[in-house]
Amino acid sequence: MIDKLSLFSNVAVTNNPMENRIVITGDVIQSRSHGAHEWMPLLEHAITKYTGTFDIFRGDSFQAEVTADQVFESLYYLKSSLRQLEHMDVRIGVGVGNITFRGDDIKKSSGTAFIRSGEALDMLQKESLALRSDWSKLDERVNLILTLSTRLTDQWTPNVAQTVQAAMDHPKASQTQLSKIIGRTHQSQVSTELRRGHFSKILEVINYCTNDLLRYVK
């Protein structure tokens, strides 16, 4: 178990309780197929890229507060991290709502953002990403896109996932530079892996869903 990096204090929130916040709740798929020493650093790195307010609990479950402009990017980054290990993946529910109380641990905090995040995770069956908010039209659009896009991420091999993550870490890098970063012999390998990972489409999904969400929460 990693050290908690929660920024919460055990007091009621001082910000407007009606202000929309984003909470993600997830778990690692096939966590027993690899040792925790292999996947825990990948999970921790992916979460801390986007927030310091999080917890990992029950061994393979996690919860975090992220910003509206980064939440969808964080979902696919988490997937690219865990799918670098054969058979592994993540399921994540996204909740949009308020945070009415912040405990000294994120699991002890409360508000509709937490409730909806848990509900979104519980509704997942064959899908692995879902959103719950106060706006049914937003939920319908985004959840359809998330469902279809995960059909693409389900096809990621470990090498493809590694290349996708590198491209997200270094958005301005050329494919030649990426090949050196991840140790590919030829630039053509990076090009092929990004194409097989449908990376350009994933970026379109992230941009569309982010802009759609921001129209509601800001």
Mean per-residue pLDDT for 6-15?
41
Q: For residues 74 and 24, is the Cβ–Cβ distance under 8 A?
A: yes
Q: For residues 98 and 60, is the Cβ–Cβ distance under 8 A?
A: no
- To the nearest 10°, the Cα dihedral for 93, 96, 102, 107? -10
Mean per-residue pLDDT for 132-158?
97
Q: How far apart are CA 90 and CA 118, in angstroms?
A: 15
> Does residue 51 carry a pLDDT above 90?
yes
Give the pairing type, strands 89-97 and 129-132: parallel
Looking at this protein, which amino acid is placed at residue 60?
A: D
**What is the pLDDT, as a whole number, of residue 9?**
36
Q: Tell me the DSSP string of the chain.
A: -PPP-----SEE-SS-TTS-EEEEEEEEETGGGS-HHHHHHHHHHHHHTT-S-EEEETTTEEEEEE-TTTHHHHHHHHHHHHTTSTT-EEEEEEEEE---EE-SSGGG-BSHHHHHHHHHHHT-SS-SEEEE-S-HHHHHHHHHHHHHHHHHHTT--HHHHHHHHHHHH-TT--HHHHHHHHT-S-HHHHHHHHHHTTHHHHHHHHHHHHHHHHHHH-
What does pTM read for this prediction? 0.90
**What is the pLDDT, as a whole number, of residue 16?**
55
Q: What is the mean pLDDT of the chain?
A: 91
Q: How far apart are CA 115 and CA 169, in angstroms?
A: 31
Question: Can you tell me which residue has the tokens 């848990």?
Answer: 118
Q: For residues 90 and 28, is the Cβ–Cβ distance under 8 A?
A: yes
> Does residue 10 carry a pLDDT above 50?
no
What pairs with residue 91 in β-bridges?
27
Looking at this protein, which amino acid is placed at residue 47?
A: I
65-110: pLDDT as tens digits? 999 999 999 999 999 999 999 999 999 999 999 999 888 778 778 8
